[in-house]
Amino acid sequence: MARFPQVFVIVFLLLGGLAARAAAATVEEMLAEASLGSDKAPVTVIEYASLTCPHCAAFATTTFEAFKKKYVDTGKVHFIYRDFPFDQPGLRAAMMVRCSGPERFFGFLEILFKSQESWASAADPLAELAKIARLGGMSKEEFDACMKNKELMDGILKGELEAQQKYKVEATPSFIVNDVLHEGNMSLEQFDGILAPLLK
């Protein structure tokens, strides 16, 4: 049985109201760009990730906060997260995050990456995702409705296809820095090298 640290439960309590907002959201709203920072920043960084990708989880848990503090919070980078699920559990997890609503998107993302080993490797990942959703305030009925939302699923898969066609994305995580593809779990130092000439 997957167990979630107490801090996760506290975070989910802070995500209260998730279900009501999710029920009211349209598919177009759920598929809207998930971003952090100013869209007027001189550099745009797009991350393509799968919630079942260990390298994506490593970036999310070891590098992202420092990257955000140094570049996003200071107005230098507009950060955009896009789904690129490699498998069914990754697709279902992406759908659940999209159903959570824009205010809770990145909080849910953080929880799923931090607890990835627990739910993604479970015998029944969907059942574990349902448990996480309930901790966040989503009822079984709402979770089931989210999982059955074919329009949402198709929208995520369409975005994945567009990433392959436009940017030649084949692996996760992949980062598009001002339209240039960089693959792999990059360190803050690697980002420094890429971003320095763009921020002169």
- C-alpha span between 59 and 144 (Å, rounded): 30
pLDDT values of the chain reduced to their tens digit, one per residue, 200 residues? 334 444 444 344 444 444 444 445 799 999 999 999 999 999 999 999 999 999 999 999 999 999 999 999 999 999 999 999 999 999 999 999 999 888 889 988 999 999 999 999 999 999 999 999 888 778 888 899 999 999 999 999 999 999 999 999 999 999 999 999 999 999 999 999 999 999 98
What angle separates helix 105-114 from helix 6-14, to the nearest 10 degrees? 170
Q: Give all domains of the chain, ordered by start, each with its CATH number.
A: 7-199 (3.40.30.10)
Place of tokens 């693959």: 183
Report how far residue 35's alpha carbon sits from residue 135's, in angstroms, rounded to the nearest whole number: 24
What is the distance between the alpha carbons of residues 100 and 2, in angstroms, rounded to a whole number? Answer: 21
Q: How many helices (H) and strands (E) does the chain have?
A: 12, 5
